[in-house]
Structure 1
Amino acid sequence: MVDETLITHGALSHIRGFYPTLSPSEKKVADFILANYQKVMPMTLAELAAHSGVSDATVVRFCRALGFHSYLELKIALMRSLLDSPDLIFDHIEKDDSPLTIMRKVFLGSIQAMQDTLDLLNDEALDRAVTLLQNAHTILIVGVGTSSPMAHELHNRLIRLRLNCRVETDAYLQLMQAALLTEKDALVVISQTGASQPPINTAREAHRHGCKIIAITGNPSSELGKLADVLLLSISHESRPETLASRIAQHALIQGLYVLMAMHMSQVANQNEYLIWDALMRASNAQES
């Protein structure tokens, strides 16, 4: 592994120090990282290569030229060099920002993510998603990590319409369930980066069986995006892999999907909402008495 003391003192300085020894194509990678180091954090090797205008092999050679054994080591070094930066907590935050200023930046980031997500939605994709979900024999909803709560939220919405849906956030169990899907079913995959391997494996397996796939992601060029029959983009401009604003945008997108479907099934939706409300009220009264 590359010298720990070297990368702790600054991966960016390390790149600048080695810059004169790099090949012209490797310098393209260095130039992109130096100018966009915060955006590199959530990128896959292939994405960094594409943004730098070089091949995947060039990125691998670049990492080795700097003394890193892998692209992952480079990203870890970049992360360590930014430990004192508030950007690791939230973009555009300054150390001397007042509490209200910090709150305003967080709120505005979430508002922007929702507006950008709304701007990229279109009637065709939404109608297609609603049709697939309504006509599916079985709906499997999957997500891992911080996408898991969003998967559960969509499941909680769809069961109100008495749709035959399941949610799975375990990587192996979702793959097992995907193996049993057919062309009559639908798979909903939630992954903001589109690069997480478990959801991709699940989508591949479902696709192999002819199952229709709806992807909620922020990366249309990812393999997940390419596997999807319907792509619903959730936009966030945060540079960290685990973005905050994208979750809010996804939550709004999920609520919107539920309302769209409920409007198509208004009689059933109203009846079910009443039954749920009545059950909750009776449970609450029982606790009080």
Structure 2
Amino acid sequence: MKYNARERCGAMESIAKKIQGLTLSKTEKKIADYILENEDVLGIKTATDLALEIGVSDTSIIRFLRTLGFSGYGEFKRIMSKRMLQQYNTSMLSSEKYIKTREFVDKKNVLVDVVKCAVDNMELTVQNTSIDTIRGIADCLIKSKRKYIFAFRGTACCADYMYRKLIYFLPDVFCCESADSSALERMVDITAGDCVLLYSFPRYSEINYSILELAKEHGAKVIVVTDKVTSPLAVYADYLLTAAINGLGFTNSYVVPMCLSEAILLLVSKHGSKNKNNRATKIDEYLDKHSLY
């Protein structure tokens, strides 16, 4: 069996189960034991490296990997590299990610690798996202009296993009990108007719919890854009969007959260209203007057 692009992220999880179902020779057992005990470094090892460390031939390793369903060592190494990146991206500091990822980022093909990673993120997100959720979020933003958008540090780019586009169509939109007391001060008067849109990914800032608790206490709707349904912030959400943010470098990739934001904005913009057209026209008029392009 060959792994397609959508199955690769979960490939390692099935290896142990496949191995358990095999009757292994002495050589195969040595290879299997090494793979299961050293999965964190497999993404930067060559077949020759493994052969020398295990004490078997390259051919034996490749033959065993094909038994597990891989087309060859090249595919196995690519999948293990991707798994390593995912682990580093969700649990390490930026400085730690930088030190680790520079070992296996291909300088010659870095652009192709980054694009492939973004495409994989998009495919995974599309599989797990319901259009009804997107519609529900757009409708919530349209109906809410005041819209509060929060995101901090690297994630702030998502809030800034959403804010700068949403104000073209809707009034009373507020954006906060400072993880300090001003975030809570800005929303202290939030009511049941308002909503909060929060972007947050690992590692989640502590202030996020206070923001969401305050919103829930006052009966406001909560929209959370995060990395997975098991995120500790998901329990607060009336509307939950998950976005794959795996990056090749020392930071998260925000391509998918931006795409989700664009989809929401398109639905908001299509919601018929003369006021929306007048609002956008008025903003453009003043921006043009002062050459603020």
From 191, 199, 207, the equivalent of 2:216 is 207
Residue 79 of structure 2 aligns with which residue?
A: none
Residue 129 of structure 1 aligns with which residue?
A: 137
1:241 is displaced (CA, Å) by 7.3
1:250 is displaced (CA, Å) by 1.3
User: What secondary structure sits across from 1:284 in the alignment?
Assistant: coil
- 1:263 and 2:280 correspond: no
8 Å contact kept, 1:195–1:222: no
Greater Cα offset, 233-242 or 173-182? 233-242
Query: Relative to 1, partners in 2 of residues 1:175 and 1:279: Cα closer, same or farther, differing over 3 Å?
Result: closer
* Contiguous gaps of at least 5 residues in structure 1: 1-29, 45-74
1:33 is displaced (CA, Å) by 7.9
Measure, in 2, the Cα distance between the counterparts of 1:103 and 1:203: 37
**Partner deviation per Cα, 1:190-212 (whole Å, 9 max, x = no partner):** 01227221122211221122211
The alignment covers a number of residue pairs equal to 215
- 1:83 and 2:99 correspond: yes
- 1:284 and 2:287 correspond: no
Query: Relative to 1, partners in 2 of residues 1:180 and 1:216: Cα closer, same or farther, differing over 3 Å?
Result: same
Measure, in 2, the Cα distance between the counterparts of 1:123 and 1:254: 13
8 Å contact kept, 2:89–2:247: no
Measure, in 2, the Cα distance between the counterparts of 1:168 and 1:211: 17
- 1:93 and 2:105 correspond: yes
> Structure 1 vs Structure 2: percent identity of aligned residues?
16
Give matches, 1:136-285, under 5 Å: 136-171=144-179, 172-193=181-202, 195-238=204-247, 242-244=251-253, 247-265=254-272, 267-284=274-291
Query: Relative to 1, partners in 2 of residues 1:284 and 1:157: Cα closer, same or farther, differing over 3 Å?
Result: closer
Measure, in 2, the Cα distance between the counterparts of 1:241 and 1:269: 40
Measure, in 1, the Cα distance between the counterparts of 2:255 and 2:84: 25
2:211 alignment partner AA: T
* Contiguous gaps of at least 5 residues in structure 2: 1-35, 42-82
1:213 is displaced (CA, Å) by 0.4
Measure, in 2, the Cα distance between the counterparts of 1:262 and 1:224: 28
**Partner deviation per Cα, 1:14-73 (whole Å, 9 max, x = no partner):** xxxxxxxxxxxxxxxx969847665444546xxxxxxxxxxxxxxxxxxxxxxxxxxxxx
Query: Relative to 1, partners in 2 of residues 1:284 and 1:196: Cα closer, same or farther, differing over 3 Å?
Result: closer
RMSD: 3.1
TM-score, with normalisation over the residues of structure 1? 0.64
8 Å contact kept, 1:193–1:241: no
1:121 alignment partner AA: T
1:116 alignment partner AA: L
**Partner deviation per Cα, 1:143-182 (whole Å, 9 max, x = no partner):** 1111112111111111111321111122221123343212
Query: Relative to 1, partners in 2 of residues 1:145 and 1:102: Cα closer, same or farther, differing over 3 Å?
Result: same
- 1:116 and 2:116 correspond: no
User: What secondary structure sits across from 2:224 in the alignment?
Assistant: strand
8 Å contact kept, 1:189–1:214: yes
Q: Larger C-alpha radius of gyration, 1 or 2? A: 2
